[in-house]
């Protein structure tokens, strides 16, 4: 039997939130250190390199979610025949490694051409091709590490995963900032990132091995396991790719039509408003593997899912509503904290529309996790992708006429479209 966590839901929610917060908090600290340690041009080149290589991670959230779902499902089956946790992990690692090898090969062969395309005027630097290759290697190592982290979440060992994530992020932040201060050399900074990412992966693999009952991570999966995992994951990849396009698309449209300053202003408003969705989504991320494990049990598990789903849905909506009210009422102090006096203060309608859009997304959090846990990745992908495409189309039409408020209406349309997940979740439970 797979080792299981006896932590109450509130404790798991806290650890889940800590795990989710580790990356953005460490990124802010790292930014503060690197900005002071590197010249403006060097820092810009580093950010461009990491951003360009980061586009290759579009499918990684899908692989991670697939890993979490099937590991927790194997956990729910216990000793019954079917998928094994080691088989799921192996299949996911094979998929990630194959993608990474292809990306590294492309980056190596075309590094000079890609450097010119990515860096523009900065491509005249002598080592930009090597910098881009190192950035792709660092991202590839992080993708392998993320699969191992997803497996630990699938085991519902949230405290272990959160502690491991904090240690990994702290080590990465410390090494990168220290290397930048001591050398001022971007190549050494990226080498340091690769080393820490590799060590983090090895440490996470050791932790995962200790948590698994057979103390074995790798086991060649059966053909049926491969087929099930990739059939489920394929729809997740469609949704993930659309999500990457959507998250960046509206900012690009705003910048193209209204200028860079407007895009910056819009980005700050979005970052504040998205707390309405981000906080409850992070708190209740533990429900995804829990629903998957219970779903694998059959009738008794389904009854538990129904009770938990209704309780979580009410709690999530209440939490999101409270956060939304705080943001709307305290919007001016929040804007002053994050943006100082850089932006105009008369964008109350913009903030209200964005908060409303993220509140609608928060209403779907429990339904989203439920549907993914029970294997309904196709309807989730179709609903999410269709809503994103509608939002982008509206943004293109409305921004020239209504400015930033038009972009916010596009996001509101996305939230409204995803309400279909609520109906689909009810149908699945029935």
Angle between helices 223-258 and 260-273 (to 10 degrees): 130
φ and ψ of 83, to 5 deg: -70, 145
Domain end (from 186, 221, 256) = 221
Domain end (from 221, 241, 259) = 221
Range of the domain at 203: 9-221
**Residues 186 and 317 reside in one and the same domain:** no
Confidence of residue 283 (pLDDT cuts 50, 70, 90): confident
**Residues 254 and 125 reside in one and the same domain:** no
pLDDT at 252 over 50: yes
**Residues 100 and 184 reside in one and the same domain:** yes
What would the DSSP string read from start to end of 195-239? Answer: HHHHHHHHHHHHHHHHHSTTS----PPPHHHHHHHHHHHHHHHHH
Does residue 89 sit within a domain? yes
**Residues 355 and 422 reside in one and the same domain:** yes
**Residues 180 and 256 reside in one and the same domain:** no
User: 301 vs 419, which has greater pLDDT?
Assistant: 419
Looking at residue 77, its pLDDT comes to 66
Does residue 396 sit within a domain? yes
Does residue 315 sit within a domain? yes
Token representation of residue 134: 């190192």
**Residues 293 and 193 reside in one and the same domain:** no
Does residue 92 sit within a domain? yes
Q: Report the percent of the chain where pLDDT is more than 70.
A: 83
CB contact at 8 A, 122 and 44: yes
Looking at residue 2, its pLDDT comes to 41
Does residue 334 sit within a domain? yes
Does residue 1 sit within a domain? no
pLDDT at 97 over 80: yes
pLDDT at 202 over 90: yes
Does residue 136 sit within a domain? yes
Number of domains in the chain: 2
Domain end (from 188, 221, 254) = 221
pLDDT at 80 over 50: no
269-274 own/partner pairs: CB under 8 Å, 24+ apart:
269/335, 269/347, 269/350, 269/351, 269/354, 269/404, 270/354, 270/411, 271/338, 272/327, 272/331, 272/334, 272/335, 272/338, 272/351, 273/327, 273/351, 273/354, 273/355, 273/357, 273/358, 274/354, 274/358
CA 121 vs CA 45, 50, 91, 131: distances in Å? 11, 17, 41, 15
Does residue 2 sit within a domain? no
**Residues 17 and 152 reside in one and the same domain:** yes
**Residues 161 and 212 reside in one and the same domain:** yes
pLDDT at 315 over 80: yes
The C-alpha angle with vertex 335 and arms to 332 and 340, in degrees rounded to 5, equals 115
Looking at residue 191, its pLDDT comes to 93
pLDDT at 280 over 70: yes
**Residues 41 and 171 reside in one and the same domain:** yes
What would the DSSP string read from start to end of 239-286? Answer: HHHHHHHHHHHHHHHHHHHH-HHHHHHHHHHHHHHTHHHHHHHHHTTT
**Residues 217 and 262 reside in one and the same domain:** no
**Predicted TM-score of the model (pTM):** 0.73
User: 292 vs 251, which has greater pLDDT?
Assistant: 292
**Residues 250 and 321 reside in one and the same domain:** yes
**Residues 110 and 178 reside in one and the same domain:** yes
């Amino acid at each position: 039997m797979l080792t299981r966590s006896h932590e109450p839901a509130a404790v798991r929610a806290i650890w889940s939130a800590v795990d989710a917060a580790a990356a953005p908090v460490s990124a802010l600290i790292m930014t503060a250190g690197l900005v002071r340690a590197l010249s403006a041009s060097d820092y810009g080149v580093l950010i461009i390199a990491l951003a360009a290589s980061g586009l290759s991670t579009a499918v990684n959230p899908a692989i991670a979610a697939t890993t979490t779902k099937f590991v927790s499902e194997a956990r729910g089956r216990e000793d019954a025949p079917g998928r094994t946790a080691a088989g799921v992990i192996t299949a996911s690692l094979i998929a990630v490694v194959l993608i990474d090898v292809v990306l590294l090969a492309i980056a190596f062969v075309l590094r000079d051409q890609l450097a010119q395309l990515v860096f523009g005027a900065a491509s005249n630097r002598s080592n930009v091709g090597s910098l881009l290759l190192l950035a792709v290697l660092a991202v590839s190592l992080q993708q392998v590490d993320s699969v191992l982290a997803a497996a630990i979440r699938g085991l519902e060992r949230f405290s272990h995963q959160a502690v491991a994530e904090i240690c990994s992020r702290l080590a990465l932040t410390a090494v990168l900032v220290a290397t930048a201060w001591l050398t001022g050399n971007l190549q050494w900074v990226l080498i340091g990132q690769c080393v820490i990412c590799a060590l983090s992966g090895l440490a996470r693999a050791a932790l995962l091995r200790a948590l698994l009952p057979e103390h074995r991570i790798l086991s060649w999966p059966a053909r049926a396991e491969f087929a099930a995992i990739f059939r489920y994951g394929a729809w997740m990849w469609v949704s993930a790719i659309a999500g990457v396009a959507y998250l960046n698309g509206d900012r690009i449209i705003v910048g193209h039509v209204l200028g860079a300053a407007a895009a910056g202003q819009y980005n700050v408003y979005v970052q504040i408003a998205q707390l309405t969705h981000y906080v409850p989504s992070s708190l209740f991320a533990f429900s995804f593997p829990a629903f998957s494990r219970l779903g694998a049990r059959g009738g008794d598990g389904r009854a538990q899912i129904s009770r938990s789903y209704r309780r979580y849905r009410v709690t999530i909506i209440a939490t999101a509503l409270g956060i939304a009210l705080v943001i709307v009422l305290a919007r001016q102090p929040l804007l002053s904290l994050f943006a100082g006096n850089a932006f105009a203060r008369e964008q109350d309608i913009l903030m209200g529309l964005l908060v409303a859009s993220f509140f609608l997304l928060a209403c779907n959090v429990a339904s989203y996790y439920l549907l993914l846990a029970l294997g309904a990745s196709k309807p989730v992908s179709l609903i999410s992708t269709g809503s994103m495409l509608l939002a982008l189309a509206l943004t293109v039409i409305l921004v020239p006429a209504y400015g930033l408020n038009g972009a916010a209406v596009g996001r509101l349309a996305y939230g409204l479209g995803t309400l279909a997940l609520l109906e689909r979740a009810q149908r699945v439970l029935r």
